A = this chain, B = another copy of it.
Amino acid sequence: MATIEDVARRAGVSQSTVSYALSGKRPISAATRTRIEKAIAELGYRAHAGARALASARTDVIGLMAPLRTGVDVNVIMQFVAGVVTGAGRAGYDVLMLTQDEGSLARVTSSSMVDALVVMDVEDDDARLPALQALRQPSVLIGLPADPHGLSCVDLDFTQAGASAVRRLLAAGHRTVALIGSPREVVDRHTSYAERMTRGFVGACEAGGATHLVLPTPASAAGAVASVDTLLAQLPDVTGVVVHNEVALPHVISRFRERGRDVPGEVSVVAVCPENVATSLPVPVTSIDIPAEGIGQIAVDMLTALMRDPSMAEVRLVSPRLTERGSVRDLG
């Protein structure tokens, strides 16, 4: 591999001139610049990442802690990851994937492998928060812990999403509604989005005087079927459901039909899921989009802002947008 010294020699300039030509931190005459570029092209030169990191104290790599456990909304996670990788690429960063375990955070930060961190799957009272706050490197959470003090966070405003879904049903005259939500484990861990979704749902139901039920639901066909059956047993008059569980969604709809309740004839459905999920079902479903890829990109934007100015911490909650697709029936 060619080094910067090889380039300098070939271009007949000094190392530092090559370095400055590359970084643009110093004016370089057109003639010199041309010779340097030529030498770089001829040698196929690329700066050694380690040497650069050592000298400049930056790696141009950001760490991404994503929950890799299979089965749990992988689709959504993948879209977040895609957004982060895309946004990072655009901003000139590479992405180091980190597993959930406690150690990797300390390892990659204290060995200076990454300049910054994006953390997913945030819990209400997340064990990683103190560590993140103490870090030299800035971080952005995708999710919203109970106390986001001093941390940068971005997410869909799930509280509003839950409330908005309910209000849509209430406006159509529904008075008995249910939330088919995230799996029990996710809820029990007080995962931030599940917590907020439930709060928004329940709050709007209470405000609107609607009879309601929240059903944590496994991400499987069997789980979806069981939840629908439980729901029909406990709340036989149910006419509206909010589904925040993309794996269960198709099975929820078909189970209602198997049980003789047509969607949207007898039961109206509002889903909270990525758009491509809502549109690729046999029946298009009215939904509130989870703009996962966009949020991933915003996370990177916030990170680059933080690296420029560490005082820029902020919480950004993306407002939910409901798209009608005809799965809600007006009882008026």
> Hey, which bits of chain A sit against chain B, CB under 8 A?
1, 44, 46-54, 59, 61, 64, 68-71, 74-75, 77-79, 81-82, 85-86, 89, 94-99, 104, 106-108, 110-113, 136, 219-222, 225, 247, 250-251, 254, 276, 280-282, 293
Residues of B within 8 A of A71 (CB): 276
Say yes or no: A78 contacts B70, CB within 8 Å: yes
A61 to B61 alpha-carbon distance, docked (Å): 12
Say yes or no: A49 contacts B53, CB within 8 Å: yes
Residue of B at shortest CB range from A54? Answer: B50
A251 to B247 alpha-carbon distance, docked (Å): 13
Residues of B within 8 A of A111 (CB): 46-49
Residues of B within 8 A of A220 (CB): 280
Say yes or no: A70 contacts B64, CB within 8 Å: no
Residues of B within 8 A of A59 (CB): 49-50
Q: What are 21 A-B contacts with C-beta separation under 8 Å?
A: A48-B53, A48-B54, A49-B53, A50-B54, A50-B59, A54-B54, A64-B97, A70-B79, A70-B276, A71-B276, A74-B75, A77-B78, A85-B97, A85-B99, A94-B97, A94-B98, A94-B113, A95-B96, A95-B97, A96-B97, A221-B250
Residues of B within 8 A of A78 (CB): 68, 70, 74, 77-78
Residue of B at shortest CB range from A224? Answer: B282
Residues of B within 8 A of A136 (CB): 1
Say yes or no: A75 contacts B85, CB within 8 Å: no
Residues of B within 8 A of A219 (CB): 280
Residues of B within 8 A of A250 (CB): 221, 250-251
Say yes or no: A280 contacts B222, CB within 8 Å: yes
Residues of B within 8 A of A70 (CB): 75, 78-79, 82, 276, 293
Say yes or no: B96 contacts A61, CB within 8 Å: yes
Return A145 CB to nearest CB of chain B, in Å: 24
Given A79-B70, A282-B221, residue A112 in contact with residue B50 (CB < 8 A): yes
Return A269 CB to nearest CB of chain B, in Å: 15
A115 to B219 alpha-carbon distance, docked (Å): 37
Residues of B within 8 A of A79 (CB): 70
Say yes or no: A94 contacts B96, CB within 8 Å: yes
Residue of B at shortest CB range from A95? Answer: B97
Beyond A49-B59, A94-B97, A94-B98, 19 additional pairs, beta carbon < 8 A: A49-B111, A49-B112, A49-B113, A50-B52, A53-B53, A68-B85, A69-B82, A70-B78, A70-B79, A75-B75, A77-B78, A78-B78, A89-B99, A94-B108, A95-B97, A221-B280, A222-B282, A225-B282, A250-B250
